[in-house]
Structure 1
């Protein structure tokens, strides 16, 4: 038995309180080493008074490249719980495992309270269960400057003809809020029910991640009345609205930063930023900035979010757009570079204002420290979605893909995993079609795999009409409102895919996950009490035979044969 492979932590992603008296418990063992894991559990006080322990065999769950997970949904008569694991390896050897480590599997040892992990009380509020509506949401990300020009009267002076190229970092095309509102019926027809807007506040750039005024709509995008019409129109169509907040840094034209530049240490905003020398600027010897920024951009000075005055200001911003306009969610840019204390305060105050608000942090890596514990419901789940494109580009084998994916599916408590923000491309990445070298079949298969996974999937605007684009800024091309036949067919496919996701919402939100792989194929099985969905993906160079299948959704399927880069869900 490989003891070094066994691990469990009570106050972590290994334990998820999902409802009153209900908890999901998970333990990790070495891969291909353990035959069975049993959990022994009880209310400690009742146990000490003579009520016997309950023993249940745990379910063999996901396997990563190095570990096997075991899980169990436990219902307890009270909200108090102690538990330990009885682990049996493939040679039949057993061991007990609990709060003080490993112990011999003897009757006497199981009577020692100190051997058990403790959950003194299952506080449902402490679980911070994410809003239920997010599990049923398919997001649609919009880069407002490139989606649609609804009011040419507010165009920038340097506006270029819609769709002309190449796209440069300082290009303007005139996209605005009225343009989005004018296409709400199109988005409703597509089936999306969540709109994620990149920043819309006053800013000199086209991307608006260098905010000048957090309380004002950028005039090139329109007015607050335009935004209210957009939110009201979205809500009338059953769509939620998420705004993008940039609280790691301000724009260099923000009044706070301009005051610091003008008044130096005497500025009342001097401690709103991380300044290490005066006057602010570049060191004459090294040429380096004497203040901290986002990345190395001089135009985005980093904000000191440990300053209570800064915290008050930023929290007032987020409350304003919820209270005055009824938005449903916030996405926080560069969340992993902001201190946790501020996030806990902000998230707590927003939940007091709107209990079912969805709070999402941007991070490009596994980020357990940002999720739960008073902070975000979820993060942008790049570690889960990036391997999908590698799989279809044949740079990951099926077995390696499954191992890496299962690792990410084990990083967070299950309630949070159900609302992770899953996108195959965004304004920060090359577009999916370009990443997959223009292969429409692979693009469709990748989208199908995305919607089969736990989490809240997101489409980047234009994906539904096969919009291509390389790295920023090419990934921010104008939306194509006159698709050709091939692009229109792609839209029909995406519409069907979203409808399939909604039709099988219960299974795809709550069902168990299992995999089968060969050298050239991946099969994903999602199973709930009522439904089993099996998705086959052909990654080989020849057709794959699947006998006795009844497809619910497919691409590249004919007469029992699945074409290369094809998929079929039965």
Structure 2
């Protein structure tokens, strides 16, 4: 028995309170080593007064490249739980595993309280269950400067003709809030029910991540009246609205930073930033900045978020847009570079204002320490989604893809995994179509796989028309409105996938997920007691036979239960 492969941690992603009296438990073992995992459990107080220990068998769940996971949902009538695992390997050897490690599988050992893991009381409030509405949401990310120009009177002086390229880092095309309002019906027709807007606050740049004033709409985008109209119109169409906050840093044009520039160490904002010398700027001898920044961007001085005055100011900003403009969610830029204490204070304050607010953090890597524990509901799930593109580019074998994806699915508690923000491309990455070498079939297959995975899918504006683009700034091209999106070949495929995803949101949030690999035919199956849905992706060079299906939702290259090389299908069996 490979003891080093066995791991369970109580009060971590291995335990998830799903509802009152209900907890999901998970344990990891070495791949192919263990054949059976049982759990012995009880209410400790009742057990100590003579009530029998109960036993259940865990289900064999997902497997990574090195480990097998086993899961079980327990109903706990008293909300008090002690438990230990009994593991059996391929040779028939058994062992107990609990809070103090491994122990012999014998009656005296199972009678020892210290061997058991403890969940003293299951509080639903501790579960910090994410807002239920997010599980039913298909997001649409808009880079406001490039989506649509609805009001030419607020265009920047240096505005370029819409869509004229090449796009540069300092290009302005005049996109604004009025343009978004004008196209809400188009987005509703596509099936979108969540809008994620990149920053809309006052800023000198086109991207607005170097904010000057978080309390004002950038005048080139419109006014607060325009934004209120946008929020109200979105809500009328069943759409939630998420804004983007940049709290790791401010722009150098912000009044706080300008006060530091003017008054140096005497500025009342001097301790709002990480400053190592005055006057702030570049050391003439070393060429190094004497203040900390986002990355190496001199125009984005990093905030000292451990300063209580800074935290209070950030709470004022985020609360204002919820209370006054009725937004539904916040996405926080560079969340992994801000201290956890700040996020707990901000997130707690915002949930007090609006209990079903969705709070999303940006991180490009596994960051379970940012999820739960008073912090975010979810993260931008790049580690889960980026391997999809590598899979269809044949940079990952199907077997390796399955292992990596399952690993990501085990990083967070199940309720949080259901609302993770899953995007195949964003304003920070090259466009999906370009990454996939301008192959629309691969793009459709990638979107199909995305829609089947746990989490809330997000489309980057222009996906529905097959908009291409390389790395920033080329990935921020203007949305093409001619020909009309509905007239493009990609639009009906994306529309059908969104409709299917929304119609099956409850099923996808609770159904079992499993994989099957036959040669180069990758199959993802979602199944519950009522239906089985299978996504099939032929990554090989020859056609593959498929099992008969009752309904085909979407396919390419499928005929007479034969899936052509490079083809895919989404079917109900």
In structure 1, what is the Cα distance between the partners aligned to 2:557 and 2:448?
A: 13
- What count of residue pairs does the alignment treat as equivalent? 570
Deviation at 1:485, TM superposition (A): 8.9
Q: 1:398 maps to what in 2?
A: 398
The secondary structure found in structure 2 opposite 1:60 is strand
Residues 329 and 357, structure 1, Cα contact 8 Å, conserved in 2: yes
Residues 343 and 375, structure 2, Cα contact 8 Å, conserved in 1: yes
Deviations 1:142-163 (A, max 9, x none): 0000000000000000000000
What stretches of structure 2 of length at least 5 have no aligned partner? none
Residues 246 and 334, structure 2, Cα contact 8 Å, conserved in 1: yes
Deviation at 1:487, TM superposition (A): 6.6
* Higher deviation after alignment, 498-507 or 135-144: 498-507
In structure 2, what is the Cα distance between the partners aligned to 1:41 and 1:409?
A: 26
Deviations 1:299-318 (A, max 9, x none): 00000000000000000000
Deviation at 1:486, TM superposition (A): 9.9
Deviant stretches of 4+, over 4 Å = 484-487
Please, what is the CA RMSD of the aligned residues?
A: 1.0
In structure 1, what is the Cα distance between the partners aligned to 2:210 and 2:19?
A: 41
Deviations 1:186-223 (A, max 9, x none): 00000010000000000000000000000000000000
Residues 181 and 230, structure 2, Cα contact 8 Å, conserved in 1: yes
The secondary structure found in structure 2 opposite 1:40 is strand
Deviation at 1:555, TM superposition (A): 2.2
CA shift in 2, pair 1:406/1:393, >3 Å: same
Q: 1:433 maps to what in 2?
A: 433
Residues 398 and 518, structure 1, Cα contact 8 Å, conserved in 2: no
CA shift in 2, pair 1:531/1:549, >3 Å: closer
Q: 1:18 maps to what in 2?
A: 18
Residues 28 and 67, structure 2, Cα contact 8 Å, conserved in 1: yes
Residues 486 and 492, structure 2, Cα contact 8 Å, conserved in 1: no
Alignment of 1:195-210 (within 5 A): 195-210=195-210
Matched, 1:76 2:89: no
Q: 1:477 maps to what in 2?
A: 477
In structure 2, what is the Cα distance between the partners aligned to 1:443 and 1:431?
A: 10
Deviation at 1:173, TM superposition (A): 0.3
Deviation at 1:552, TM superposition (A): 2.6
**TM-score between both structures, scaled by the size of structure 2:** 0.98
Q: 1:566 maps to what in 2?
A: 567
Deviation at 1:165, TM superposition (A): 0.1
Residues 399 and 518, structure 1, Cα contact 8 Å, conserved in 2: no
Residues 507 and 532, structure 1, Cα contact 8 Å, conserved in 2: no
Q: 2:554 maps to what in 1?
A: 553
Deviation at 1:549, TM superposition (A): 2.9
The secondary structure found in structure 2 opposite 1:529 is coil
Q: 1:540 maps to what in 2?
A: 540
**TM-score between both structures, scaled by the size of structure 1:** 0.99
Deviation at 1:509, TM superposition (A): 1.4
Residues 465 and 485, structure 2, Cα contact 8 Å, conserved in 1: no
Residues 129 and 415, structure 2, Cα contact 8 Å, conserved in 1: yes
Q: 1:99 maps to what in 2?
A: 99
Q: 1:109 maps to what in 2?
A: 109
Matched, 1:459 2:439: no
In structure 2, what is the Cα distance between the partners aligned to 1:418 and 1:262?
A: 48
The secondary structure found in structure 2 opposite 1:243 is strand
Residues 445 and 565, structure 1, Cα contact 8 Å, conserved in 2: no
In structure 1, what is the Cα distance between the partners aligned to 2:548 and 2:365?
A: 41
